[in-house]
Structure 1
Amino acid sequence: MDKPWFHIYGAVYLLFVREGKLLMLRRTNTGYEDGKFSLVAGKLDGGEEVKQAAIREAEEEIGIRLHPDNLEVVLVMHRMSDSGEWVDFFLRVNAWEGEPFNNEPEKCSEMAWFPLEILPDATIPHVRQAISRIREGVVYDSFGWDI
């Protein structure tokens, strides 16, 4: 008997760095890790390439315009969570147009720049690990697996 196909989810996370500081957003009213800091991020909607999803999320969340040539995938994370199995793409944003602002105040209670080496204590654990691995030059990591 054939094993049924499993479902995997995808997400993009954007690293906006300016003067050694990383842009982070505090989640609110989302039902997932509310009160904790993350990056500009979102699920893949399906039918869109990773960089297209990143461009969409940046405009939706912080009103920034991006060009695909200015995006670089710096880490892929295979993650297991309570909501299922995920493949997360972390992209460094090398240039952008506009000044970031909180374009989704109903989902984001705070937006701030933090030193890359001193993230807020309330950072989502897999995001903290991903940022650490990126700083180490790692390009693939996993999270939430008992291996």
Structure 2
Amino acid sequence: MTAPLTVQRHRRIIDVHLLLIRDNRVLLSLRQGGYASGQWQVPSGHLEADEPTDHGTVREGWEEIGVRVDPDHLELAHVIDHRAPGEEPRFGIFYRAHSWEGEPYNAEPDKCGGLSWFPLSDIPDPTVPYHAAALQHIAAGRISSKYGWEPMR
């Protein structure tokens, strides 16, 4: 008797993003050094082991921009299935905070060149491409999208 084949399940890195929107303007941070240096992005990071996505988003908000967010004050805004050339596919989750404590500031000056508020309808160039795509979908009211995938034949 032959043993059944075991299939290795695919695993992906999960990126979590904190949307702060005030007066129809979204807070973006300017990446400095490393990946996408010189490009704007939504404050974000990677999910850690044994961490729910809303808690990871809250943690990243504190680490990057010094704001406290109650996970109960987050709303799922968008999910994006994305991949960059030469990189493994990733899954991005964008949560919008309905309220937060503290005024955002650059809590990681070694990784961030500054913070600024931009109209949601006028995202600056250059912005990390999948962030720009997700923000366009969010502005249009779409909850999910894909970025960087070849069309299916």
Fold in common (TM above 0.5): yes
**Which structure 2 residues correspond to residues 71-110 of structure 1 after superposition, within 5 A?**
71-81=74-84, 82-110=86-114
Matched, 1:8 2:7: no
Q: Is this contact kept in 1: 2:61–2:67, CA < 8 A?
A: yes
Structure 2 residue 66 is the aligned partner of structure 1 residue 63 = yes
Tell me the secondary structure at the aligned position of residue 35 of structure 1.
Answer: coil
Gaps of 5+ in 1: none
Amino acid at match of 1:129: A
SS in 1 for 2:135: helix
Q: Which residue of 2 aligns with 1:42?
A: 45
Query: What is the TM-score with the length of structure 2 in the denominator?
Result: 0.91
Q: How many residues align?
A: 146
C-alpha separation in 1, matches of 2:53 and 2:93: 8
Structure 1 residue 2: Cα displacement: 4.4
Amino acid at match of 1:11: D
User: Which residue of the partner structure matches residue 137 of structure 2?
Assistant: 133
Q: Cα offset for 1:91?
A: 0.7
RMSD between superposed Cα atoms in Å: 1.2
Q: Where does structure 1 differ by over 2 angstroms across 4 or more consecutive aligned residues?
A: 1-7
Could you list the per-position Cα deviations for residues 7-40 of structure 1 after superposition, in whole angstroms to 9, with x for gaps in the alignment?
31101111101112110001012x2111100011
Letter paired with 1:48: E
**In structure 2, C-alpha distance between the alignment counterparts of 1:125 and 1:40, rounded to whole Å:** 14
Name whichever structure is richer in strand by fraction: 1
Amino acid at match of 1:72: E
Query: 1:83-111 CA deviation, whole Å, 9 max, x = no partner?
Result: 31111101111100010000000000121
SS at 2:27 equivalent: strand
Is 1:7–1:85's contact at 8 Å kept on the other side of the alignment? Answer: no
Whether the 8 Å contact between 2:18 and 2:94 is mirrored in structure 1 is yes
Q: State the one-letter code of the partner of 2:68.
A: R
- Cα distance in structure 1, aligned partners of 2:101 and 2:36: 29
Query: CA separation in 2, counterparts of 1:118 and 1:137?
Result: 15
Between Structure 1 and Structure 2, whose CA radius of gyration is higher?
Answer: 2
